[in-house]
């Protein structure tokens, strides 16, 4: 199938392009490069030995999307494009609502008008209401988001849910990601955040490579085994494989379908630090810092529905995630700007 991948040069999108190409799909990427490098396209080609079509365009540009759909016989779209920094979304809500909601609406309108009604959307564990008990299931309550970024995911889900409800030809798959980390084992593609990383694993990797001095552990007085926050980390290659499984499922299932993509296992911040140190034989200096606003003590998924319905399960363990994160960071100390 020919798959349109919006945000395909980003962290998760690039790994998904590799999986798609390796499974025989054709890939057309659209990305405005607001948070990624054009070098990614050649790296995807190098890993897979296959070609990929790339358009440097904004997904909100209806004319550009029309041209792409006229030129290519797109069978389905995977919609990764979006802004994703929680703190930035609190400071710049209008930019987040504009980018993340208008890209979703423009893409869906264009798809409808070109009679391509299969979409897979990058949603997030952040849509779950904090009142739910872990493990989080797809049927649990959503909403009560704590920041504009979270609301854009919640609202995008609703927009696509309503679209599928109104027209039974649509197949809408909402994938709720937990905490993707790691990198392709080749070390050619990986996570390359701009500025100081917000998320744990890129921060640890940048401490390891000497770009940052030490890790701040945000709180050690949570109600968890060692007092630090517990999350469901998942290897980005497993996450990418989840999208290929979702395409297979979508081919004969219409309507709205929601799946968690996680491992179902929770690790604490200190588990992450100690595993990274042991696997890569590098010391990660850290200090205990105050809690970060908006953080929960513990979140992890129930991966049961994805296993039973999609036939998808994460294969990589925490050691693999730590090894591949470091393999990427050590080979690309400044990310894609290294060369
Ligand atoms: P990323 O920033 O690396 O990738 C997003 C890509 O979208 C970037 O390449 C960016 O340039 C592009 N983009 C943004 N707005 C665009 C627009 N209007 N038009 C065209 N391109 C645009 O982020 P990622 O980590 O790969 O995340 C991909 C998706 O998954 C995002 O929607 C994100 O919100 C979601 N998600 C990520 C995580 C995570 O922990 N990384 C967790 C849950 C959900
Ligand atoms: C965060 C976002 C979430 C988003 C996800 C992926 C918040 C409140 N949540 O999730 O909405 O979907 O990223 O982008 O921002 N930690 C440290 N030191 C650090 C960084 C993190 O101790 O320098 C801790 C955190 O307190 C947390 C754990 O590490 O306990 C994981 O943090 P992070 O990687 O930011 O992911 P989430 O908080 O789960």
CA distance 41 to 297: 38
Which ranges of 7-92 does DSSP label H, i.e. alpha helix?
Answer: 11-22, 39-48, 62-71, 86-91
Is 149 assigned a catalytic role?
yes
Q: What pLDDT sits at residue 45?
A: 98
233 Cβ inside 6 Å of ligand 1? no
242-280: pLDDT as tens digits:
999 999 999 899 999 999 999 999 999 999 999 999 999
pLDDT bin (cut points 50, 70, 90) of residue 135 is very high
CA distance 248 to 167: 21
Mutate to test the pocket of ligand 2, among 214, 269, 286, 293 (most ligand atoms within 8 A of CB): 269
Q: What pLDDT sits at residue 338?
A: 64
Of all protein residues, whose CA lies closest to atom 8 belonging to ligand 1?
A: 10
CA distance 134 to 184: 29
273-315: pLDDT as tens digits:
999 999 999 999 999 999 999 899 999 999 999 999 999 999 9
101-112: pLDDT as tens digits:
999 999 999 999
190-218: pLDDT as tens digits:
999 999 999 999 999 999 999 999 999 99
CA 17 distance to own-chain centroid: 13
- 138 closest CA partner among 119, 116, 167, 161: 161
Find the catalytic residue in 96, 149, 177, 249. Answer: 149
Q: Return the structure tokens found at 86.
A: 């929680």
Q: pTM score > 0.85 for this model?
A: yes
Q: What is the mean pLDDT of the chain?
A: 97
Q: What angle do CA 122, 123, 128 make, to 5 degrees?
A: 170
Task: Please name which ligand lies nearest the alpha carbon of 128.
Answer: 2
Eight-state DSSP code of residue 216 = E
Residues sharing a CB contact under 8 Å with residue 334, sequence separation 6 or more, in sequence order: 211
Of all protein residues, whose CA lies closest to atom 13 belonging to ligand 2?
A: 199
Task: Please name which ligand lies nearest the alpha carbon of 147.
Answer: 2
Q: What angle do CA 325, 326, 328 make, to 5 degrees?
A: 70
């Amino acid at each position: 199938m020919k798959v349109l991948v919006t945000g395909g040069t980003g962290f998760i999108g690039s790994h998904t392009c590799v999986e798609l190409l390796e499974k025989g799909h054709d890939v057309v990427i659209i990305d405005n490069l607001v948070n990624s490098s054009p070098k990614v396209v050649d790296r995807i080609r190098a890993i897979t030995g296959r070609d990929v079509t790339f358009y440097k365009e904004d997904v909100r540009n209806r004319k550009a999307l029309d041209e792409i759909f006229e030129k290519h016989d797109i069978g389905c779209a995977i919609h990764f494009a979006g802004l994703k920094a929680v703190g930035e979304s609190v400071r710049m809500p209008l930019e987040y609502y504009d980018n993340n909601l208008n890209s979703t609406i423009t893409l869906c309108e264009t798809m409808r008008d070109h009679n391509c009604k299969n979409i897979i959307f990058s949603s997030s564990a952040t849509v779950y209401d904090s009142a739910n008990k872990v493990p989080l299931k797809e049927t649990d309550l959503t909403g009560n988001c704590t920041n504009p970024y979270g609301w854009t995911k919640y609202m995008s889900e609703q927009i696509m849910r309503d679209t599928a409800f109104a027209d039974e030809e649509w197949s809408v798959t909402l994938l709720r990601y937990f905490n993707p980390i790691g990198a392709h084992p080749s070390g050619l593609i990986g996570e390359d955040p701009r500025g100081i990383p917000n998320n744990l694993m890129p921060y640890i990797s940048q401490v390891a490579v000497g770009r940052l001095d030490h890790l701040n552990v945000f709180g050690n007085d949570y109600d968890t085994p060692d007092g630090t926050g517990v999350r469901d980390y998942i290897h980005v290659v497993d996450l990418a494989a989840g999208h290929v499984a979702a395409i297979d499922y979508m081919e004969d299932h219409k309507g709205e379908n929601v799946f968690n993509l996680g491992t179902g296992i929770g690790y604490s911040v200190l588990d992450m630090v100690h595993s990274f140190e042991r696997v890569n034989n590098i010391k990660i200096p850290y200090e205990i810092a105050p809690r970060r606003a908006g953080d929960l003590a513990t979140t992890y998924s129930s991966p049961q529905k994805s296993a039973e319905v999609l036939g998808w399960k994460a294969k990589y363990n925490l050691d693999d995630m730590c090894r591949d994160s470091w393999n990427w960071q050590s080979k690309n100390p400044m990310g894609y700007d290294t060369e």
